Structure 1
Amino acid sequence: MHVLRRWWHDTAGGLPATFWYLWAGILINRAGAFAMLFLSLYLTTARGASEALAGAVVGAYGAGGAVGVLLGGVLADRWGRRATLLVAHLATVGLMVALALSEHLAVIAVLSALVGVVHSMPGPAFVAAIVDLVPESRRSRAFNLQFWAFNLGMAVASLLAGVLAEASFLALFLVDAGATLVTALVIAAKVPETLRRGTPGPAPTAGGSRRPGLHTALTDRIFLTFVALTFVLAVLTMQTSTIMPLAMRTDGLGPSAYGLVVALGGALIVMGQLFVPRLIDRHRKDRVLAASTGLMAIGFGALTVADGLGVYLAAAAVWTVGSMLAAPPNAQINADLAPPELRARYQSVFYLTFPAASFVAPTLGGVSLQYLGSVHWLIVGGLGLLAAVGHLLAGPPRERRVAALRGAAASRERVGVR
């Protein structure tokens, strides 16, 4: 019993109550956010759209997501975290209901793009609120729990979506809207505004600039180096949903085999993610990220010799462990590098890596797989190993930047007290 209590304290102890309401909101939101997973199927089956048109509409949703990430970051720093979360979730409810009832493809395309915007807006605000609330010493466990909630919610969403889609597409959209409304109600009732306004003294930006805003994040070289390394990790991760299914088909493996590989990754995260903080907290973040990216590189590189389901499953176990180790330090470094007054904007730039990777991975990966065959996986593995080395090289200057930001924050607090 003592060991169990100790594990629970190391995993989830010492976090404020408001964090848990945010965590519950993330879990409910992701568990109910399944309608857009079936958007292309809905368009082709229920609305008679061609595959090309369905792809264009899904692309509009993705483009809206890129806009929403930046918009959410700016608004979370200007309006506040709570206001941005409420506006995004309530707008999502209305748009999802409208999408469920719309019949014209042109209207559905516009609504899909708008849903993409409001679906992506909460991301920077959620993370910025967590950073506002949670002391630095406990952020690793907070981000670990956030990653776990996100993946647990996605696993639940995948199960529910299939059942609802078989029964009714209308129900699919309406239940999604209902879950989003529940999240909005939880935030409205239990989550206060976490953005502290009126910080004493002008805060210096990370790059020494006096132009606060997205410009600061987009010209911060140390931060952008970190974003670039995260982009590589995102490209590796996207292989599982874009290129790997094609490779498995070439190897004579069907959709059920692909489902087993994806299910294994989800099961490992749900069962094992809560044990990660105790494993990594004693180690430097750059070394953890180097190790995690290296594991992902080895896992994907192993597909070069894949000729059966067993190799795919073993490789998936390796790269999933890598992604599990990467989640907490990735989020924590992003939080550490952001000046307090620009937290959400920095988050929005960081979040852009994922829509960018979702475009680059299938676009270049499809060409690579077609013309290079299994050599594609050697290239992916090599890219991951280069990123692992990059983390080791980028770690020391990154830590110096973080120390400078902490010193500046402490000085401003002392001035404020006087």
Structure 2
Amino acid sequence: MSTAPPTRSGVDEPRFRDALRGLPGRVWIISLGILVNQIGNFLPVFIVLYLTERGCSAGAAGLVLGVSGVGKVLGNAVGGYLADGIGRRWTIVLSAVTTSGLTAIMPSLGPLPIIVAVVGLIGVTSQIYRPAAAAVLLDSVAATNQQRLAAFGVFRFAMNVGAALGGVVGGVLASTSYVGLFLGNAVACLLFGVVVGVLLRDAPKARSDQDDADTQADRAVGYRQVLADRTLVRFLLMTVFAEFVYIQSTVGLPLHVSTVGLSERDFGLLIGLNGLLVLVLELPITGVVSRYRPEYVLAIGNLITGVGLALTGFMTGMVLLSATVLVWTLGEMMTSSISQAYLGSLAPPRMVGRYQGLHGVAYTTGTGAGPLIGGAVYAIGPWALWALVGAAGLLSAQLCLPRRRAASTVLEPDS
């Protein structure tokens, strides 16, 4: 089912810088929308503080987060199906409008079971747009490595800027009023939907009788048939392990910082260093790695991330911990944009949404299971977590590499 990925960037492809300059308006529109959405994406960050301020226990807050995580997995699967079914634009609008409405009623909710149910629904609706947004990027550019990477690089940059600004704005709102916080989140979601609904149009496609027949056949294909693609399955497994490793920067790292006698402020500085590096260097690094075969870039990036985070357990001071942040952030920057761009080369044109939806499922599975497993293993022994992180990083790198049979086929000369 997958199309064969190129062995290397074609000699006729534009340079990454030229690809950035030549991006169509649809890429900038969807990036503007995600910037607005991320600036107001307060709920995932502040929900625990909100619940504890209301007198809920840590266990209740954990339950809410768990239900939200399950909702996010389901939301990506639903979003992938809708993106291929009703179109990218209306899938995003549906996600934004429903999330806005549900978030706006959060301050008025009373009993904990209702809060759990609504937060679970928000988990679903808030993720439905993701596969569609990725599909918009892939629909909008030529099927070349440089073009795809440029599109996802700009999109990632907008997300990172929005997240950085959102943390500051959210902190100010939370210190004033949680009602204002959730209403601000709702307004941002609604603006995202308005930007996409008003400015974005689904990419026009030339149609023929054969295209109509192929479309009907593709729509009849379910996720079970899509998962018959072995290359896709390896990619999804890689994503689960890679995200389990990366999420330890928010689980294992703060636990280690506390264990070695450093403060919350020190942890904040380490995470701030990561964010600053990503904002300043991710696009240039994406341009550098765009010249190379994506499978090998992903393998090296995942290996660097795993090694960098595993080394955390051996460091006790801020200087050495900052050095490990530099290492695993480099791995993050190498893989973040290229992973979805590479996935775009695997998907048949009318199944892009479902492929991206399954990527979202794998991503949220890794980030959801990571805190649970990481915290439990750390309780057994810190050394056990860092050993597990190193092993998972190595496994995620190995899963990126093409299978021997596929690699040998690529290397065979044309007849």
- CA offsets per residue over residues 193-238 of structure 1, 9 Å max, x none? 2374956255499xx9995121222222110001111221111111
Counterpart code for 1:76: A
Measure, in 2, the Cα distance between the counterparts of 1:146 and 1:232.
Answer: 23
Measure, in 2, the Cα distance between the counterparts of 1:147 and 1:398.
Answer: 30
Provide the secondary structure at the position in 2 that maps to 1:136: coil
CA contact (8 A) 2:69 2:368 kept: no
Measure, in 1, the Cα distance between the counterparts of 2:394 and 2:67.
Answer: 33
* Cα distance change, pair 210–120 in 1 and its aligned pair in 2 (3 A): closer
2:225 is aligned with 1:188: no
2:48 pairs with one of 22, 31, 40: 40
Pairing of 1:19-58 with structure 2 (within 5 A):
19-45=27-53, 47-58=54-65
Pairing of 1:324-339 with structure 2 (within 5 A):
324-339=333-348
Provide the secondary structure at the position in 2 that maps to 1:355: helix
CA apart distance, 1:31: 1.1
Counterpart code for 1:295: I
Q: Residue 377 of structure 2 corresponds to which residue in structure 1?
A: 368
Measure, in 2, the Cα distance between the counterparts of 1:69 and 1:198.
Answer: 28
Measure, in 2, the Cα distance between the counterparts of 1:136 and 1:166.
Answer: 47
CA apart distance, 1:55: 1.6
Q: Residue 75 of structure 2 corresponds to which residue in structure 1?
A: 68
Measure, in 1, the Cα distance between the counterparts of 2:151 and 2:237.
Answer: 24
2:38 is aligned with 1:15: no
* Cα distance change, pair 111–203 in 1 and its aligned pair in 2 (3 A): same
Provide the secondary structure at the position in 1 that maps to 2:292: coil
Pairing of 1:246-285 with structure 2 (within 5 A):
246-285=255-294
TM-score by length of 2: 0.88
Q: Residue 158 of structure 2 corresponds to which residue in structure 1?
A: 149
Measure, in 2, the Cα distance between the counterparts of 1:170 and 1:399.
Answer: 59
* Cα distance change, pair 398–232 in 1 and its aligned pair in 2 (3 A): farther
CA contact (8 A) 2:16 2:287 kept: no
- CA offsets per residue over residues 357-385 of structure 1, 9 Å max, x none? 12322222223222232343133123212
CA contact (8 A) 1:57 1:112 kept: yes
Measure, in 1, the Cα distance between the counterparts of 2:73 and 2:402.
Answer: 29
In terms of mean alpha carbon deviation, does 289-298 or 6-15 score higher?
6-15
Measure, in 1, the Cα distance between the counterparts of 2:207 and 2:65.
Answer: 41
CA contact (8 A) 1:133 1:194 kept: yes
CA contact (8 A) 1:29 1:183 kept: yes
1:392 pairs with one of 367, 376, 401: 401
CA apart distance, 1:398: 8.0
- CA offsets per residue over residues 31-70 of structure 1, 9 Å max, x none? 111123111111121x322221122122222111111111
CA apart distance, 1:8: 8.7
Counterpart code for 2:137: I
CA apart distance, 1:133: 1.0
Counterpart code for 1:190: L
Q: Residue 89 of structure 2 corresponds to which residue in structure 1?
A: 82
Counterpart code for 2:385: H
* Cα distance change, pair 84–399 in 1 and its aligned pair in 2 (3 A): farther
Measure, in 2, the Cα distance between the counterparts of 1:104 and 1:368.
Answer: 33
2:138 pairs with one of 119, 127, 131: 131
Q: Residue 314 of structure 1 corresponds to which residue in structure 2?
A: 323
Provide the secondary structure at the position in 1 that maps to 2:286: helix
CA contact (8 A) 1:132 1:195 kept: no
CA apart distance, 1:30: 0.9
| Matched positions, count | 393
How large is the Cα RMSD of the aligned pairs?
A: 2.5
Measure, in 1, the Cα distance between the counterparts of 2:121 and 2:279.
Answer: 31
Measure, in 1, the Cα distance between the counterparts of 2:176 and 2:407.
Answer: 51
* Cα distance change, pair 181–292 in 1 and its aligned pair in 2 (3 A): same
Q: Residue 388 of structure 2 corresponds to which residue in structure 1?
A: 379
Q: Residue 243 of structure 2 corresponds to which residue in structure 1?
A: 234
Counterpart code for 2:201: P
Unaligned runs of 5+ in 1: 1-5, 402-418
2:128 is aligned with 1:121: yes
CA contact (8 A) 1:11 1:275 kept: no
In terms of mean alpha carbon deviation, does 361-370 or 107-116 score higher?
361-370
CA contact (8 A) 1:11 1:277 kept: no
Q: Residue 3 of structure 2 corresponds to which residue in structure 1?
A: none
* Cα distance change, pair 93–204 in 1 and its aligned pair in 2 (3 A): closer
Higher relative contact order (CA 8 A, sep 6+): 2
- CA offsets per residue over residues 70-94 of structure 1, 9 Å max, x none? 1111111111111111111111111
CA contact (8 A) 1:303 1:374 kept: no
* Cα distance change, pair 396–129 in 1 and its aligned pair in 2 (3 A): farther
Q: Residue 5 of structure 2 corresponds to which residue in structure 1?
A: none
CA contact (8 A) 1:80 1:194 kept: no
Q: Residue 296 of structure 1 corresponds to which residue in structure 2?
A: 305
Provide the secondary structure at the position in 2 that maps to 1:374: helix
- CA offsets per residue over residues 318-370 of structure 1, 9 Å max, x none? 10111111022211121111111111111111111222112322222223222
* Cα distance change, pair 160–284 in 1 and its aligned pair in 2 (3 A): same
Counterpart code for 2:139: D
CA contact (8 A) 1:77 1:195 kept: no
Measure, in 2, the Cα distance between the counterparts of 1:191 and 1:396.
Answer: 42
CA contact (8 A) 2:26 2:136 kept: no
CA apart distance, 1:283: 0.8
* Cα distance change, pair 244–161 in 1 and its aligned pair in 2 (3 A): same
Pairing of 1:324-363 with structure 2 (within 5 A):
324-363=333-372
